Structures are given as structure tokens and as C-alpha cells.
Amino acid sequence: MSENREIVLDTENPLLEIISPQEDEKIDVSKIFISGYTVDKNLDKVFYKINDEDSFVLISEQNISNVFEDGEMKQSFSVEVLPAFGNQVNKITVKSIDKAGNESLEVAQID
């Protein structure tokens, strides 16, 4: 007996927006709060990195709120980051990836 499968072509990148910190915002670098949201029908994961670190850090599910709205998954995220002592933070990058591998990047340059 054969199994029927539905194949969905997804070529759209997720919508991604960083709400905080805002571009050119002056912040206390001992604690940084990164928040925003991402929207996609087949959303998978959200990551962040500070400055030009080699790799992204996965934002854990406990820091993500899922809402299914207008046929799409909207994930609001909020995470507190403690930079290494003495490191200056100039840039925060957030990456959203859907299950098809499409991705979006948002960057906030901060002071």
C-alpha cells in the first residue's frame, strides 16, 4: 500500500524584526535584553549572536512565545544576554530559519 504525501514549496524567508535593542541605542552592556518577533508558515528556529562571534546561539523555547495568527506562526522572543566581562558590544544579529532552510537576518548596531 502506498502512502500519499503532500509536498509544499516554500521559497519565502521568514519575516524578522528586532524590537530591542533599537538601532544606535545606548545600553548597559552588563546585561542586554534582545527581543523581537519572527513570522513564517513553517517556522523552525531563532538564533542570536553578539558582535562577530563565530557561531549563533539558539534562543531556547522557554524564551519564545508562539501564536498562530492568520495561517502563520508568529514567535515572539526575549532573551537576556550576559556578555563576557570587558567585551564591548557593538552589534547584535538575530537569525530566523524556517523548516525549508529559508532564513532572515536582522542586525542592530548599538552604542
What is the pLDDT tens value at each position of the chain, 111 positions in all? 788 887 778 899 999 999 998 877 777 667 788 999 999 888 899 999 988 888 999 999 899 998 887 877 789 999 988 765 556 777 889 999 999 999 999 999 887
> Given this model, what pLDDT does residue 13 score?
96
Q: Hey, what's the cell of 7?
A: 509536498
Per the CB < 8 A criterion, the answer to whether 14 and 96 are in contact is yes
> Given this model, what pLDDT does residue 97 score?
95
> Given this model, what pLDDT does residue 76 score?
94
ω into 21 cis (within 30 of 0): yes
Rounded to 5 degrees, φ, ψ at 63 are -105, 15
> Given this model, what pLDDT does residue 70 score?
80
Residue 94's nearest CA partner among 11, 23, 10 is: 23
Spacing of C-alpha 10 from chain mean position: 19
* 3-state percent breakdown (helix, strand, coil) of the chain, nearest 5: 5, 50, 45
Residue 34's nearest CA partner among 14, 8, 58 is: 58
CA distances (Å), 38 to each of 28, 41, 89, 95, in order? 25, 10, 23, 9
